[in-house]
Structure 1
Protein backbone atom coordinates (compact mmCIF):
# COMPACT_ATOMS: atom_id res chain seq x y z
CA UNK A 1 0.00 0.00 0.00
CA UNK A 2 1.44 3.37 -1.00
CA UNK A 3 1.28 6.54 1.09
CA UNK A 4 -1.43 7.97 -1.17
CA UNK A 5 -3.55 4.90 -0.54
CA UNK A 6 -2.92 5.01 3.21
CA UNK A 7 -3.99 8.67 3.26
CA UNK A 8 -7.11 7.91 1.22
CA UNK A 9 -5.97 10.00 -1.74
CA UNK A 10 -6.21 7.09 -4.16
CA UNK A 11 -8.18 3.84 -3.95
CA UNK A 12 -6.63 0.84 -2.19
CA UNK A 13 -4.29 -1.16 -4.44
CA UNK A 14 -4.78 1.22 -7.39
CA UNK A 15 -1.05 1.57 -7.98
CA UNK A 16 -0.41 -2.15 -7.54
CA UNK A 17 -3.18 -3.03 -9.98
CA UNK A 18 -1.90 -0.47 -12.47
CA UNK A 19 1.73 -1.60 -12.24
CA UNK A 20 0.90 -5.31 -12.37
CA UNK A 21 -1.22 -4.82 -15.46
CA UNK A 22 1.89 -4.60 -17.61
CA UNK A 23 3.31 -7.97 -18.65
CA UNK A 24 6.28 -9.59 -16.96
CA UNK A 25 9.63 -8.77 -18.53
CA UNK A 26 8.26 -5.41 -19.64
CA UNK A 27 10.19 -2.80 -17.72
CA UNK A 28 9.98 -0.46 -20.70
CA UNK A 29 6.18 -0.68 -20.71
CA UNK A 30 6.10 0.10 -17.00
CA UNK A 31 8.40 3.09 -17.54
CA UNK A 32 6.04 4.50 -20.16
CA UNK A 33 3.07 3.71 -17.95
CA UNK A 34 4.64 5.70 -15.12
CA UNK A 35 5.01 8.71 -17.41
CA UNK A 36 1.38 8.31 -18.45
CA UNK A 37 0.29 8.02 -14.82
CA UNK A 38 2.19 11.14 -13.72
CA UNK A 39 0.67 13.12 -16.60
CA UNK A 40 -2.80 11.75 -15.70
CA UNK A 41 -2.37 12.80 -12.05
CA UNK A 42 -1.79 16.37 -13.24
CA UNK A 43 -4.72 16.48 -15.68
CA UNK A 44 -7.88 18.22 -14.45
CA UNK A 45 -11.04 16.12 -14.53
CA UNK A 46 -12.64 18.21 -17.29
CA UNK A 47 -9.60 17.73 -19.55
CA UNK A 48 -9.24 13.98 -19.07
CA UNK A 49 -9.67 11.49 -21.89
CA UNK A 50 -12.83 9.51 -21.09
CA UNK A 51 -11.58 6.50 -23.06
CA UNK A 52 -8.50 5.60 -21.00
CA UNK A 53 -8.32 2.30 -19.14
CA UNK A 54 -10.28 1.84 -15.92
CA UNK A 55 -6.94 1.22 -14.18
CA UNK A 56 -5.85 4.77 -15.00
CA UNK A 57 -9.29 6.23 -14.30
CA UNK A 58 -8.95 4.99 -10.71
CA UNK A 59 -6.47 7.80 -10.03
CA UNK A 60 -7.92 11.23 -9.21
CA UNK A 61 -6.56 14.54 -10.43
CA UNK A 62 -4.14 15.57 -7.70
CA UNK A 63 -4.45 19.22 -8.82
CA UNK A 64 -1.64 20.36 -6.56
CA UNK A 65 1.26 20.84 -8.93
CA UNK A 66 3.19 17.87 -7.54
CA UNK A 67 3.09 16.17 -10.95
CA UNK A 68 3.18 19.31 -13.12
CA UNK A 69 6.90 19.13 -13.75
CA UNK A 70 7.67 16.49 -16.35
CA UNK A 71 10.29 14.35 -14.69
CA UNK A 72 12.59 12.16 -16.71
CA UNK A 73 12.02 8.56 -15.69
CA UNK A 74 15.19 6.53 -16.21
CA UNK A 75 15.15 3.20 -17.95
CA UNK A 76 13.88 0.52 -15.60
CA UNK A 77 15.59 -2.82 -15.28
CA UNK A 78 13.57 -5.98 -14.77
CA UNK A 79 14.95 -6.15 -11.22
CA UNK A 80 13.68 -2.66 -10.45
CA UNK A 81 10.31 -3.43 -12.08
CA UNK A 82 9.97 -6.50 -9.86
CA UNK A 83 11.06 -4.49 -6.82
CA UNK A 84 8.40 -1.86 -7.51
CA UNK A 85 5.63 -4.40 -8.02
CA UNK A 86 6.55 -6.98 -5.38
CA UNK A 87 8.31 -5.10 -2.60
CA UNK A 88 6.68 -1.71 -3.17
CA UNK A 89 3.13 -2.90 -3.76
CA UNK A 90 2.78 -6.17 -1.92
CA UNK A 91 5.24 -6.57 0.90
CA UNK A 92 6.17 -3.11 2.13
CA UNK A 93 4.08 -1.49 4.88
CA UNK A 94 3.74 2.12 3.73
CA UNK A 95 1.67 3.13 6.76
CA UNK A 96 4.85 3.89 8.71
CA UNK A 97 6.39 6.06 5.98
CA UNK A 98 6.28 9.81 6.46
CA UNK A 99 5.59 11.51 3.08
CA UNK A 100 7.44 14.62 4.27
CA UNK A 101 10.57 12.54 4.79
CA UNK A 102 10.30 11.14 1.27
CA UNK A 103 9.96 14.62 -0.21
CA UNK A 104 12.74 16.04 1.92
CA UNK A 105 15.00 13.08 1.16
CA UNK A 106 14.46 13.46 -2.57
CA UNK A 107 16.13 16.87 -2.55
CA UNK A 108 19.75 17.50 -1.76
CA UNK A 109 20.79 19.83 1.05
CA UNK A 110 21.95 22.52 -1.40
CA UNK A 111 18.75 22.29 -3.44
CA UNK A 112 16.59 22.63 -0.30
CA UNK A 113 18.71 25.53 0.91
CA UNK A 114 18.67 27.41 -2.41
CA UNK A 115 14.90 27.00 -2.64
CA UNK A 116 14.32 28.07 0.97
CA UNK A 117 12.82 24.66 1.71
CA UNK A 118 13.42 24.06 5.38
CA UNK A 119 11.50 21.32 7.12
CA UNK A 120 10.35 21.01 10.69
CA UNK A 121 9.58 17.58 12.06
CA UNK A 122 6.03 16.94 13.32
CA UNK A 123 7.16 16.68 16.94
CA UNK A 124 8.57 20.22 16.87
CA UNK A 125 5.51 21.53 15.05
CA UNK A 126 3.30 20.10 17.79
CA UNK A 127 5.43 21.81 20.45
CA UNK A 128 4.18 25.06 18.94
CA UNK A 129 0.63 24.36 17.76
CA UNK A 130 -0.57 22.19 20.63
CA UNK A 131 -0.36 24.92 23.30
CA UNK A 132 -1.53 27.60 20.85
CA UNK A 133 -4.84 25.97 19.94
CA UNK A 134 -4.82 22.20 19.53
CA UNK A 135 -4.89 21.39 23.27
CA UNK A 136 -7.95 23.64 23.67
CA UNK A 137 -9.69 22.04 20.70
CA UNK A 138 -9.04 18.55 22.02
CA UNK A 139 -10.42 19.57 25.42
CA UNK A 140 -13.50 21.10 23.77
CA UNK A 141 -14.05 17.92 21.78
CA UNK A 142 -13.78 15.75 24.90
CA UNK A 143 -16.17 18.08 26.72
CA UNK A 144 -18.66 17.96 23.83
CA UNK A 145 -18.48 14.16 23.72
CA UNK A 146 -19.17 13.99 27.45
CA UNK A 147 -22.43 15.95 27.15
CA UNK A 148 -25.60 13.91 27.55
CA UNK A 149 -27.27 12.68 24.38
CA UNK A 150 -30.75 13.34 25.77
CA UNK A 151 -31.98 16.85 25.17
CA UNK A 152 -29.56 17.54 22.32
CA UNK A 153 -26.71 18.97 24.41
CA UNK A 154 -24.24 16.52 22.86
CA UNK A 155 -25.24 17.38 19.30
CA UNK A 156 -25.29 21.13 19.96
CA UNK A 157 -21.83 21.06 21.54
CA UNK A 158 -20.41 19.15 18.57
CA UNK A 159 -22.10 21.51 16.10
CA UNK A 160 -20.68 24.51 17.98
CA UNK A 161 -17.21 22.95 17.86
CA UNK A 162 -17.66 22.29 14.14
CA UNK A 163 -18.48 25.97 13.58
CA UNK A 164 -15.48 26.98 15.69
CA UNK A 165 -13.21 24.77 13.58
CA UNK A 166 -14.65 26.31 10.44
CA UNK A 167 -13.65 29.77 11.65
CA UNK A 168 -10.02 28.85 12.31
Structure 2
Protein backbone atom coordinates (compact mmCIF):
# COMPACT_ATOMS: atom_id res chain seq x y z
CA UNK A 1 0.00 0.00 0.00
CA UNK A 2 1.25 3.46 -0.89
CA UNK A 3 0.65 7.03 0.12
CA UNK A 4 -2.44 7.62 2.25
CA UNK A 5 -3.28 3.91 2.44
CA UNK A 6 -0.68 3.54 5.23
CA UNK A 7 -3.19 5.02 7.65
CA UNK A 8 -6.06 2.65 6.99
CA UNK A 9 -7.42 1.53 10.36
CA UNK A 10 -8.55 -1.88 9.12
CA UNK A 11 -8.86 -3.68 5.82
CA UNK A 12 -10.37 -7.16 5.31
CA UNK A 13 -8.97 -8.47 2.03
CA UNK A 14 -11.20 -11.58 1.91
CA UNK A 15 -14.39 -9.52 1.79
CA UNK A 16 -12.91 -6.20 0.57
CA UNK A 17 -14.04 -4.16 3.58
CA UNK A 18 -12.26 -0.95 4.59
CA UNK A 19 -12.90 0.40 8.09
CA UNK A 20 -12.23 3.92 9.36
CA UNK A 21 -12.55 4.08 13.15
CA UNK A 22 -13.00 7.30 15.14
CA UNK A 23 -13.12 7.97 18.87
CA UNK A 24 -16.34 7.96 20.85
CA UNK A 25 -18.03 11.33 20.62
CA UNK A 26 -16.60 12.17 17.18
CA UNK A 27 -19.43 12.79 14.72
CA UNK A 28 -19.23 10.66 11.60
CA UNK A 29 -20.43 13.50 9.38
CA UNK A 30 -17.94 16.00 10.77
CA UNK A 31 -14.97 17.11 8.66
CA UNK A 32 -11.59 16.58 10.29
CA UNK A 33 -8.23 18.11 9.37
CA UNK A 34 -6.18 15.61 7.33
CA UNK A 35 -2.80 15.46 5.66
CA UNK A 36 -2.57 17.68 2.63
CA UNK A 37 -4.19 20.47 4.66
CA UNK A 38 -7.74 19.44 3.73
CA UNK A 39 -10.90 18.84 5.73
CA UNK A 40 -12.49 15.40 5.25
CA UNK A 41 -15.31 13.42 6.87
CA UNK A 42 -14.38 9.89 8.04
CA UNK A 43 -16.03 8.49 4.89
CA UNK A 44 -14.17 10.92 2.63
CA UNK A 45 -10.94 10.01 4.42
CA UNK A 46 -11.62 6.28 3.91
CA UNK A 47 -12.51 6.86 0.28
CA UNK A 48 -9.22 8.69 -0.25
CA UNK A 49 -7.40 5.67 1.14
CA UNK A 50 -9.51 3.41 -1.07
CA UNK A 51 -8.77 5.43 -4.21
CA UNK A 52 -5.05 4.72 -3.71
CA UNK A 53 -5.48 0.95 -3.49
CA UNK A 54 -4.75 -1.28 -6.51
CA UNK A 55 -7.89 -2.03 -8.53
CA UNK A 56 -8.14 -5.64 -7.33
CA UNK A 57 -7.92 -4.54 -3.71
CA UNK A 58 -10.41 -1.69 -3.76
CA UNK A 59 -13.04 -1.89 -1.04
CA UNK A 60 -16.47 -3.28 -1.84
CA UNK A 61 -17.65 -1.81 1.47
CA UNK A 62 -16.54 1.16 3.56
CA UNK A 63 -17.43 1.28 7.25
CA UNK A 64 -16.99 4.25 9.55
CA UNK A 65 -17.61 4.00 13.29
CA UNK A 66 -17.24 5.94 16.53
CA UNK A 67 -18.11 3.17 19.02
CA UNK A 68 -21.68 4.54 19.15
CA UNK A 69 -22.74 4.30 15.51
CA UNK A 70 -21.72 2.20 12.53
CA UNK A 71 -22.15 3.74 9.06
CA UNK A 72 -22.00 1.39 6.07
CA UNK A 73 -21.39 2.44 2.46
CA UNK A 74 -21.95 0.08 -0.46
CA UNK A 75 -19.26 1.10 -2.94
CA UNK A 76 -20.81 -0.97 -5.71
CA UNK A 77 -23.46 1.72 -6.17
CA UNK A 78 -22.81 4.76 -8.34
CA UNK A 79 -23.78 6.94 -5.39
CA UNK A 80 -23.01 4.84 -2.27
CA UNK A 81 -26.11 4.51 -0.11
CA UNK A 82 -25.59 5.04 3.60
CA UNK A 83 -26.98 2.55 6.13
CA UNK A 84 -26.71 3.48 9.81
CA UNK A 85 -26.71 1.14 12.82
CA UNK A 86 -26.68 2.29 16.43
CA UNK A 87 -24.58 0.17 18.76
CA UNK A 88 -27.69 -0.65 20.81
CA UNK A 89 -29.38 -1.94 17.63
CA UNK A 90 -26.72 -4.57 16.88
CA UNK A 91 -28.65 -7.52 18.45
CA UNK A 92 -31.48 -7.05 15.93
CA UNK A 93 -29.57 -5.57 12.98
CA UNK A 94 -26.46 -7.74 12.91
CA UNK A 95 -27.54 -9.29 9.55
CA UNK A 96 -26.66 -5.95 7.97
CA UNK A 97 -23.01 -6.77 8.69
CA UNK A 98 -23.09 -10.24 7.11
CA UNK A 99 -20.75 -9.06 4.37
CA UNK A 100 -17.90 -8.87 6.91
CA UNK A 101 -17.57 -12.64 6.81
CA UNK A 102 -19.51 -13.67 3.70
CA UNK A 103 -18.01 -13.27 0.26
CA UNK A 104 -21.22 -14.05 -1.62
CA UNK A 105 -23.13 -10.93 -0.54
CA UNK A 106 -23.67 -8.91 -3.73
CA UNK A 107 -25.45 -5.89 -2.29
CA UNK A 108 -26.79 -4.56 0.97
CA UNK A 109 -30.29 -5.27 -0.22
CA UNK A 110 -33.50 -3.43 0.35
CA UNK A 111 -34.90 -6.84 1.36
CA UNK A 112 -32.57 -7.00 4.34
CA UNK A 113 -33.53 -3.52 5.53
CA UNK A 114 -37.29 -4.05 5.27
CA UNK A 115 -37.01 -7.48 6.88
CA UNK A 116 -35.42 -5.89 9.93
CA UNK A 117 -38.13 -3.22 9.95
CA UNK A 118 -40.74 -5.99 9.76
CA UNK A 119 -39.19 -7.66 12.79
CA UNK A 120 -39.48 -4.38 14.70
CA UNK A 121 -43.17 -4.10 13.77
CA UNK A 122 -43.87 -7.66 14.94
CA UNK A 123 -42.14 -6.87 18.22
CA UNK A 124 -44.33 -3.81 18.76
CA UNK A 125 -47.51 -5.77 18.02
CA UNK A 126 -46.38 -8.59 20.29
CA UNK A 127 -45.72 -6.25 23.22
CA UNK A 128 -48.97 -4.30 22.71
CA UNK A 129 -51.11 -7.46 22.63
CA UNK A 130 -49.24 -9.01 25.56
CA UNK A 131 -50.32 -6.13 27.80
CA UNK A 132 -53.98 -6.91 27.05
CA UNK A 133 -54.00 -10.53 28.18
CA UNK A 134 -55.50 -11.30 31.58
CA UNK A 135 -52.82 -13.91 32.36
CA UNK A 136 -49.78 -12.85 30.32
CA UNK A 137 -47.43 -15.30 32.05
CA UNK A 138 -49.49 -18.41 31.31
CA UNK A 139 -47.92 -20.72 28.74
CA UNK A 140 -51.18 -21.22 26.84
CA UNK A 141 -51.61 -17.46 26.64
CA UNK A 142 -48.13 -16.94 25.22
CA UNK A 143 -48.69 -19.76 22.76
CA UNK A 144 -51.88 -18.05 21.60
CA UNK A 145 -50.01 -14.77 21.22
CA UNK A 146 -47.38 -16.42 19.03
CA UNK A 147 -50.04 -17.94 16.78
CA UNK A 148 -51.86 -14.60 16.65
CA UNK A 149 -48.68 -12.83 15.49
CA UNK A 150 -48.03 -15.47 12.83
CA UNK A 151 -51.59 -15.11 11.51
CA UNK A 152 -51.42 -11.32 11.43
CA UNK A 153 -48.11 -11.39 9.56
CA UNK A 154 -49.63 -13.78 7.04
CA UNK A 155 -52.62 -11.46 6.50
CA UNK A 156 -50.37 -8.41 6.13
CA UNK A 157 -48.13 -10.20 3.67
CA UNK A 158 -51.05 -11.74 1.77
CA UNK A 159 -52.71 -8.40 1.09
CA UNK A 160 -49.46 -6.81 -0.14
CA UNK A 161 -48.33 -9.80 -2.21
CA UNK A 162 -51.70 -10.22 -3.92
CA UNK A 163 -52.57 -13.54 -2.26
CA UNK A 164 -55.88 -12.13 -1.05
CA UNK A 165 -56.69 -10.76 -4.50
CA UNK A 166 -56.16 -7.05 -3.95
CA UNK A 167 -53.97 -4.74 -1.92
CA UNK A 168 -55.26 -3.35 1.39
CA UNK A 169 -57.98 -6.02 1.59
CA UNK A 170 -57.14 -6.98 5.18
CA UNK A 171 -56.61 -3.34 6.13
CA UNK A 172 -59.95 -2.20 4.69
CA UNK A 173 -61.85 -5.02 6.38
CA UNK A 174 -60.40 -4.29 9.83
CA UNK A 175 -60.61 -0.50 9.43
CA UNK A 176 -64.39 -0.73 8.99
CA UNK A 177 -64.76 -1.67 12.68
CA UNK A 178 -64.41 0.51 15.74
CA UNK A 179 -61.72 -0.50 18.21
CA UNK A 180 -64.03 -2.36 20.65
CA UNK A 181 -65.34 -4.55 17.79
CA UNK A 182 -61.99 -5.36 16.11
CA UNK A 183 -61.45 -8.48 18.23
CA UNK A 184 -64.72 -10.04 17.05
CA UNK A 185 -64.02 -8.97 13.47
CA UNK A 186 -60.61 -10.66 13.56
CA UNK A 187 -62.06 -13.88 14.98
CA UNK A 188 -64.66 -13.90 12.20
CA UNK A 189 -61.95 -13.42 9.60
CA UNK A 190 -59.79 -16.22 10.97
CA UNK A 191 -62.77 -18.58 10.89
CA UNK A 192 -63.65 -17.66 7.30
CA UNK A 193 -60.06 -18.06 6.10
CA UNK A 194 -60.21 -21.68 7.28
CA UNK A 195 -63.48 -22.44 5.44
CA UNK A 196 -63.79 -23.57 1.83
CA UNK A 197 -66.35 -21.52 -0.16
CA UNK A 198 -68.96 -24.29 -0.11
CA UNK A 199 -68.86 -24.50 3.69
CA UNK A 200 -69.22 -20.78 4.31
CA UNK A 201 -72.33 -19.01 5.51
CA UNK A 202 -74.08 -17.84 2.32
CA UNK A 203 -75.07 -14.61 4.10
CA UNK A 204 -71.56 -13.45 4.96
CA UNK A 205 -70.96 -9.75 4.48
CA UNK A 206 -69.12 -9.17 1.15
CA UNK A 207 -65.96 -7.86 2.83
CA UNK A 208 -65.60 -11.29 4.53
CA UNK A 209 -66.88 -13.47 1.71
CA UNK A 210 -64.30 -12.03 -0.68
CA UNK A 211 -61.40 -13.52 1.26
CA UNK A 212 -60.03 -16.75 -0.24
CA UNK A 213 -59.75 -20.05 1.58
CA UNK A 214 -56.28 -20.57 3.12
CA UNK A 215 -55.27 -24.22 3.35
CA UNK A 216 -52.41 -25.63 5.37
CA UNK A 217 -53.96 -25.41 8.83
CA UNK A 218 -52.76 -21.97 9.87
CA UNK A 219 -56.29 -20.86 10.83
CA UNK A 220 -57.66 -24.22 12.04
CA UNK A 221 -57.56 -23.58 15.77
CA UNK A 222 -60.45 -21.31 16.78
CA UNK A 223 -59.68 -21.65 20.49
CA UNK A 224 -56.59 -19.43 20.51
CA UNK A 225 -56.95 -16.58 22.98
CA UNK A 226 -57.28 -13.16 21.35
CA UNK A 227 -57.40 -10.16 23.72
CA UNK A 228 -59.35 -6.94 23.29
CA UNK A 229 -57.94 -4.34 20.93
CA UNK A 230 -56.82 -0.90 22.07
CA UNK A 231 -56.40 2.31 20.11
CA UNK A 232 -52.64 1.69 20.27
CA UNK A 233 -53.03 -1.76 18.69
CA UNK A 234 -55.42 -0.35 16.08
CA UNK A 235 -52.87 2.30 15.10
CA UNK A 236 -50.01 -0.21 15.00
CA UNK A 237 -51.92 -2.71 12.88
CA UNK A 238 -53.68 -0.39 10.42
CA UNK A 239 -51.12 2.40 10.04
CA UNK A 240 -47.61 1.23 10.95
CA UNK A 241 -47.98 -2.40 9.89
CA UNK A 242 -50.30 -1.94 6.92
CA UNK A 243 -50.52 1.55 5.43
CA UNK A 244 -46.87 2.48 6.02
CA UNK A 245 -45.22 -0.83 5.22
CA UNK A 246 -45.03 -3.14 2.20
CA UNK A 247 -44.70 -6.74 3.37
CA UNK A 248 -44.16 -8.07 -0.14
CA UNK A 249 -40.62 -6.62 -0.05
CA UNK A 250 -39.42 -8.72 2.87
CA UNK A 251 -36.87 -11.49 2.43
CA UNK A 252 -38.15 -14.77 3.95
CA UNK A 253 -34.53 -15.84 4.42
CA UNK A 254 -33.75 -12.90 6.69
CA UNK A 255 -37.17 -12.20 8.17
CA UNK A 256 -37.71 -15.76 9.35
CA UNK A 257 -34.81 -15.54 11.78
CA UNK A 258 -35.78 -12.06 12.94
CA UNK A 259 -39.42 -13.05 13.39
CA UNK A 260 -38.48 -16.13 15.40
CA UNK A 261 -36.25 -14.09 17.70
CA UNK A 262 -39.12 -11.66 18.35
CA UNK A 263 -41.52 -14.25 19.76
CA UNK A 264 -41.49 -15.89 23.16
CA UNK A 265 -38.84 -18.66 23.03
CA UNK A 266 -40.58 -21.23 25.25
CA UNK A 267 -43.95 -21.08 23.52
CA UNK A 268 -42.22 -20.82 20.16
CA UNK A 269 -40.54 -24.14 20.91
CA UNK A 270 -43.69 -25.88 22.14
CA UNK A 271 -45.71 -24.48 19.25
CA UNK A 272 -43.26 -25.68 16.63
CA UNK A 273 -42.60 -22.15 15.38
CA UNK A 274 -39.04 -22.48 14.17
CA UNK A 275 -37.58 -20.81 11.13
CA UNK A 276 -35.43 -23.08 8.98
CA UNK A 277 -32.77 -21.27 6.99
CA UNK A 278 -32.50 -21.69 3.23
CA UNK A 279 -29.07 -23.28 3.72
CA UNK A 280 -30.44 -25.97 6.07
CA UNK A 281 -33.41 -26.65 3.80
CA UNK A 282 -31.05 -27.31 0.91
CA UNK A 283 -29.03 -29.72 3.04
CA UNK A 284 -32.14 -31.91 3.03
CA UNK A 285 -33.77 -31.35 -0.35
CA UNK A 286 -30.65 -31.19 -2.55
CA UNK A 287 -29.48 -34.79 -2.02
CA UNK A 288 -33.07 -36.00 -1.64
CA UNK A 289 -34.30 -34.89 -5.07
CA UNK A 290 -33.17 -31.42 -6.20
CA UNK A 291 -29.70 -32.47 -7.38
CA UNK A 292 -31.26 -35.17 -9.55
CA UNK A 293 -33.72 -32.69 -11.06
CA UNK A 294 -30.95 -30.24 -11.86
CA UNK A 295 -28.91 -32.98 -13.52
CA UNK A 296 -31.96 -34.10 -15.54
CA UNK A 297 -32.60 -30.51 -16.67
CA UNK A 298 -28.99 -30.04 -17.80
CA UNK A 299 -29.17 -33.27 -19.81
CA UNK A 300 -32.34 -32.08 -21.54
CA UNK A 301 -30.83 -28.65 -22.30
CA UNK A 302 -27.86 -30.40 -23.91
CA UNK A 303 -30.06 -32.12 -26.52
CA UNK A 304 -29.16 -30.62 -29.88
CA UNK A 305 -32.41 -31.41 -31.73
CA UNK A 306 -34.72 -28.48 -30.97
CA UNK A 307 -38.00 -30.35 -31.39
CA UNK A 308 -36.85 -33.20 -29.15
CA UNK A 309 -35.44 -30.78 -26.57
CA UNK A 310 -38.67 -28.76 -26.42
CA UNK A 311 -40.76 -31.89 -25.98
CA UNK A 312 -38.47 -33.14 -23.21
CA UNK A 313 -38.66 -29.75 -21.48
CA UNK A 314 -42.48 -29.79 -21.67
CA UNK A 315 -42.55 -33.30 -20.20
CA UNK A 316 -40.12 -32.23 -17.46
CA UNK A 317 -42.30 -29.24 -16.62
CA UNK A 318 -45.36 -31.49 -16.34
CA UNK A 319 -43.41 -33.85 -14.12
CA UNK A 320 -42.46 -31.03 -11.74
CA UNK A 321 -46.01 -29.68 -11.68
CA UNK A 322 -47.35 -33.09 -10.62
CA UNK A 323 -45.03 -33.42 -7.63
CA UNK A 324 -46.59 -33.32 -4.17
CA UNK A 325 -44.74 -32.52 -0.96
CA UNK A 326 -45.78 -33.07 2.63
CA UNK A 327 -44.27 -31.10 5.49
CA UNK A 328 -45.21 -31.97 9.05
CA UNK A 329 -44.79 -29.28 11.67
CA UNK A 330 -46.47 -29.20 15.05
CA UNK A 331 -49.20 -28.01 15.29
CA UNK A 332 -49.82 -27.64 11.56
CA UNK A 333 -49.89 -30.07 8.66
CA UNK A 334 -48.85 -28.47 5.40
CA UNK A 335 -49.36 -30.12 2.03
CA UNK A 336 -48.88 -28.46 -1.33
CA UNK A 337 -48.36 -29.19 -4.99
CA UNK A 338 -45.74 -27.59 -7.17
CA UNK A 339 -47.58 -25.38 -9.66
Decide: shared fold, TM above 0.5. yes
Structure with the higher helix share, 1 or 2 = 1
- Of 133, 144, 163, which aligns to 1:9? 163
RMSD: 3.4
Tell which deviates more after alignment, 86-95 or 117-126.
Answer: 117-126
Q: Deviations over 1:98-120 (max 9, x none)?
A: 38558745764334544666542
TM-score, with structure 2 as normaliser: 0.40
Q: Normalising to structure 1: TM-score of the pair?
A: 0.73
Answer with 115-124 or 57-66: which moved more. 115-124
Aligned to 1:80: 233
Q: 1 CA distance for matches of 2:262 and 2:314?
A: 42
Q: Does the CA contact (< 8 Å) of 1:14 and 1:58 recur in 2?
A: no
Of residues 115-124 and 157-166 in structure 1, the stretch that sits farther from structure 2 once superposed is 115-124
1:129 aligns with 2:255: no
Normalized per residue, the structure richer in strand is: 2
1:14-33 to 2 correspondences below 5 Å: 14-22=169-177, 26-33=178-185
Structure 1 spans left out of the alignment, 5+ residues: none
Compute the displacement of 1:38 (Å). 0.8
Q: Please tell me whether residue 59 in structure 1 is matched to residue 188 in structure 2.
A: no
Q: C-alpha separation between the residues in 1 aligned to 2:271 and 2:175?
A: 37
In the alignment, the residues of structure 1 paired with residue 162 and residue 302 of structure 2 have an alpha-carbon distance, to the nearest angstrom, of 29
Give 1:72 shift.
2.0
Which region of structure 1 is more displaced relative to structure 2, 67-76 or 125-134? 125-134
Measured in 2, the distance between the counterparts of 1:18 and 1:7 equals 17
Say how many residue pairs are matched. Answer: 164
Does the CA contact (< 8 Å) of 1:20 and 1:85 recur in 2? yes
- Pick the structure with greater CA Rg: 2
